[in-house]
A and B are shown apart, each in its own frame.
Chain A
Amino acid sequence: GQNIDQPTEMTATEGAIVQINCTYQTSGFNGLFWYQQHAGEAPTFLSYNVLDGLEEKGRFSSFLSRSKGYSYLLLKELQMKDSASYLCAVRDNYGQNFVFGPGTRLSVLP
């Protein structure tokens, strides 16, 4: 079966660092993606991991461990505009289907 888990909600303070975890159990794996979605808007692509390790992109970093079925998204120097939902998604072996987790709603407080 396909299952992706994320915490439902998280809260952090402006300027801080927050880590959003994602665990997955899928029948195939060809990459893990993180998307940001502001309320009522379309998701936008943040990061992609297909090999184990850390990918850094400005204030955002994403980590993957394929053996553990685990990824995290790290957000540094939090800003108010980072308040959004963060979606973890796994692409299957054939690159045809993406399975999305339930999303983590992050609230950044002043």
Chain B
Amino acid sequence: AQSVTQLGSHVSVSEGALVLLRCNYSSSVPPYLFWYVQYPNQGLQLLLKYTSAATLVKGINGFEAEFKKSETSFHLTKPSAHMRDAAEYFCAVRNSGGSNYKLTFGKGTLLTVNP
């Protein structure tokens, strides 16, 4: 069984400040990990993915995440927040074995960016 815990359902930062969204996972097999963003009334857009290559993964819109196996974490960061980053962010895990495409999502973190 696999699961994802996102710490903090709501994170608020000032424009230009560091963004840190936390994600911890549980998986019985080596995982694939993903971060998605959802803007109001839209579907999910992939920000980045970890697939057992480099532990530091760079994504779109200036986001990056670091896979830390010892901490079972995959936190999302961005050095400087923009107003357009305000959205809901979801961390997801998927088994690396076979052709399993089931994503298990965290509950999401709503990011607010204050001017």
Q: Do A and B bind each other?
A: no
